[in-house]
Amino acid sequence: MSRVAFQKTHFLIKRWAVPEIFGKGAIANAVKEQSRFAKKLVKTPLPALNPLFAFVYRTKYEISPNLQTTRTILDLYDGGAIGIDKMELQKSPNRESKIKKPIVLLFPGGNENTHSTKVQTLCSSYLEAGYSDVYMCNYRGRCNTPFRTPQFTIPYGKFNEVGAAVSHFSENFKDRQILLAGDCFGGYCIVDYLLSGSNVDPNVVGGVIHSVQWNAEASNEKMMVDPNYSLYVKPWAKYTKNLLVQGKKGNEEFSKQVYEKIGKDRFAILSSLSMEQPYDVFQLYQIGLSSLADGAFKDEKDYVEKTSPHAKIQNSSLARPLIVINADDDPTAPITLDDIEVMERDPNLCFWLFACGGHCSYVKHLYPVTNYIDEAMVECSDILVNNT
């Protein structure tokens, strides 16, 4: 695609607010032929709304479906754990399908957990669409999951818990396919897993993700000057910093482990970070991630190179189909022409670009007839499952 065509496409997106769909493989072709969004049969908001407004609306005013949950604690290789919650509607829909749809494993953004409204509405949409087995994966220390070791979930190799969760379900449901779904940080983890070649479990049919910082370097540069930093990033950064420094209720010894592992000087710097400025996040990367990941990363630049999908997919191929959905007005995940050209090289990747939606804020029911990201995720999942 030429730059002229790309710019023209952007003009049309801004005008009509329907997704532009990129990809050159079988999954992209199937999406273009079967998607109601691609055929403009789904009404989406005409104006490109402010992502700040979208986020606030979804966070403050959208009503959670309050799903029933059943918790399973999954022990990890280093003594850590993740919490896997089975999500169920309060009242099951009166529909029975002769064909069992895949198990859905949802990996959320860094600030989300089982009780987040966004997570609940997406899980509810899958359940109402006939996906009877939907599970939400809470990362280490999240949503009352035990935080036993000073190690965070990271979208890189053995520090990525997608593989552990998939193995658990593959062993316990041997005849079922597994569909991976996620957003933001969870999308990172899914991409890393699907790029692991033969390590991808045979039962995994593919993945559908949205609001992913595809090019971490570009995202970080934009975040440094973006006015929405305090809304999108600061809460996560403060939570992570405080967890490192103060530990967690019921596990006060955790901060002592961190102190011993990163040393007196680094611990002092970490303690002094206010997280009021974007640069503090870089400090957090350097001190927290590089030190706690058993020396996996030299510094923030090394972390970006090893975890950014843009960098990794240039040297590896996806083992299963993956559909990525992003918004052009996402303040923390900018998409460039170079990103799209790299994505189109992998036949297993299909990329959607909406004009509006912000970061993880494609608001459901903001407009009278709009479902937006939840409907798009379920539709993409159906197409992926039916064409693989």
The residue written with tokens 């990363």 in the block is 297
**What's the CA gap between 38 and 31, in Å, rounded?**
8
Closest to 339 (Cα-Cα) out of 327, 351, 348: 351
Q: Which two tokens stand for residue 14?
A: 């801004």
Give mean pLDDT, residues 240-253.
Answer: 66
d(CA 144, CA 106): 17
Domains of the chain and CATH, by start: 3-215+308-386 (3.40.50.1820), 227-303 (no CATH)
Q: For a pLDDT cut of 90, what percent of the chain falls above it?
A: 35
pLDDT band for position 165 (cuts 50, 70, 90): very high
C-alpha separations of 286 from 12, 185, 234, 299, 360 in Å: 41, 18, 16, 5, 26
The CA distance from 14 to 19, in Å, is 10
CA 108 → CA 232, 282, 355, distances in Å?
14, 22, 22
Other CB atoms closer than 10 Å to residue 57's CB: what's the count? Answer: 16
Q: At what angle are helices 162-172 and 185-194 packed, to 10 degrees?
A: 70
Report how far Cα 388 is from the mean position of its chain's Cα atoms: 22
Lowest mean pLDDT among 143-157, 250-264, 307-321, 349-363: 250-264
In the block, which residue shows the tokens 């050159």? 24
Q: Are strands 81-88 and 68-75 parallel, antiparallel or unpaired?
A: antiparallel
Task: Look at residue 305 and tell me whether its pLDDT is greater than 60.
Answer: yes
- Give the chain's largest Cα–Cα span: 61
Q: Which two tokens stand for residue 341?
A: 């050209």
Residue pair 202/175 in contact by the 8 Å Cβ criterion: no
For residue 226, give every residue at least 6 positions away whose Cβ sits within 8 Å of its Cβ, in sequence order, or none: 278, 331, 332
> If you average pLDDT over every residue of the chain, what do you get?
80
Band the pLDDT of 387: cuts 50, 70, 90. Answer: very high
Q: What is the pLDDT at residue 15? A: 41
Burial (CB count <10 Å: 0-12, 13-18, 19+), residue 242: middle
Q: Give the pTM.
A: 0.84
CA–CA distances in Å: residue 54 to residues 59, 270, 343, 344: 8, 32, 27, 29
| 151 burial level (CB within 10 Å; 0-12, 13-18, 19+) | buried
- Identify the residue with better confidence: 234 or 7: 234
pLDDT at 162: 96
To the nearest 10 degrees (0 to 180), the angle between helices 264-272 and 254-262 is 120
**Mean pLDDT, residues 244-249 taken together:** 66
* pLDDT tens, residue by residue, 364-378: 555 444 457 888 899
3-state SS class at 76? coil
DSSP bridge partners of 136: 85, 106
Q: What is the pLDDT of residues 142-151, one digit of tens each?
A: 888 887 777 7
The single-letter code of the amino acid at 64 is: S
- Contact between 212 and 183 (Cβ < 8 Å): yes
Question: What are the φ and ψ backbone dihedral angles of 88, each rounded to 5 degrees?
Answer: -140, 145
115-137 average pLDDT score: 92
Ordered alpha helix ranges (H), 99-206: 117-128, 162-172, 185-194
